[in-house]
Amino acid sequence: TLLQQRHDFAGALRDLDALLAADPRNAQARLIRASIRMVQGEPLKARADCAALIGQTGLLAAATCIGSAGGLSGTAESALQAIEVSLAREPEAPPAIRIWAMTQAAEIAERLGDLPRATEHYARALAESAAAGENDVYLKAAHADFLLDQQRAAEVKTLLAADTDFDPLLLRLALAEAQLHADSAATLHLKELLDRYALAASRGDPPHRREQAMAALYLQRDAKAALLLAQQNWAEQREPADARLLLQAAINAQNKAAAQPVLDWMQQTKIQDVRLKPLAMQLGAAP
């Protein structure tokens, strides 16, 4: 888990492979390995680990794992329905599992373009997170991105004003301020963010290139730097957000060749994402 958090996915997988070879029924290890494989853009490999969870863990955890993999590999609608049914059937599941399931459901619905359904799942996940006393930074960042896509920056500014200790949330706050043309506030928060990135680099902390690429692309308007960061990020993690980032950076830098790895991945996985299709078409790829 620590290696995964430091983006040393290869090291984490080596440990997990050894652990599961010794103890094939270790559900936690199976779930973490599936999660890493999804982060690396390999939903079919993840699905095998998810399927092995059946009977070893609760219904909701297994269904959400399988649904998350399916949501990245061409069966998004049925995957979303499976998670929704499991949420209804297991209301007493641990809050952390329910919040994770709702977040995954929200993201799948968002990729399908079903905004009302995504809105409902995000709202339920946030409410359950607050009730459990948890501050789920991933959930808040994903929800902020969802709102920003709908030009609802004022809501993002209100929601994240007290969460500036967390770099991903400070970034979304700056993006909201830029969308609202609050340029002085956005500039101030961007400077703070860049200072934090520099401090982390000086400590030898692993870089979070997705956020750095987003800052370069949408706030600094540096197409060349954004593309390089997005390419470096894609070499490490290949989730839909990473694909979208690299496609947009390639468009802004007028470098179609740089987007080819993402276009190949889209064909390979058969991912359904209404946000990726128009970007691929802009690059001259088949929808």
Q: What is the tens place of the pLDDT at every residue in 34-83? A: 999 999 999 999 999 999 999 999 999 999 999 999 999 999 999 999 99
- Is the CB of residue 213 less than 8 Å from the CB of residue 194? no
pTM (2 d.p.): 0.95
pLDDT-above-70 percentage for the chain: 99
Other CB atoms within 10 Å distance of the CB of residue 199 = 10
Q: Looking at residue 287, what DSSP letter applies?
A: -
- The angle formed by the CA atoms of residues 259, 260 and 266, to the nearest 5 degrees, is 95
Tokens of 155: 């809501």
Quick check: 285 pLDDT over 70? no
**What is the structure's pLDDT at 244?**
98
Given the structure tokens 């069966």, which residue do they identify? 75
What gap in Å lies between CA 283 and CA 72, rounded to an integer? 21
Given the structure tokens 């059946």, which residue do they identify? 54
Quick check: 286 pLDDT over 70? no
Given the structure tokens 């990020």, which residue do they identify? 233
**How do residues 170-208 score in pLDDT, each as one tens digit?**
999 999 999 999 999 999 999 999 999 999 999 988 888
Least confident segment among 2-6, 210-214, 239-243, 270-274: 2-6
Helix (H) or strand (E) holding 258: helix 256-269
What gap in Å lies between CA 151 and CA 119, rounded to an integer? 14
- Is the CB of residue 36 less than 8 Å from the CB of residue 4? yes
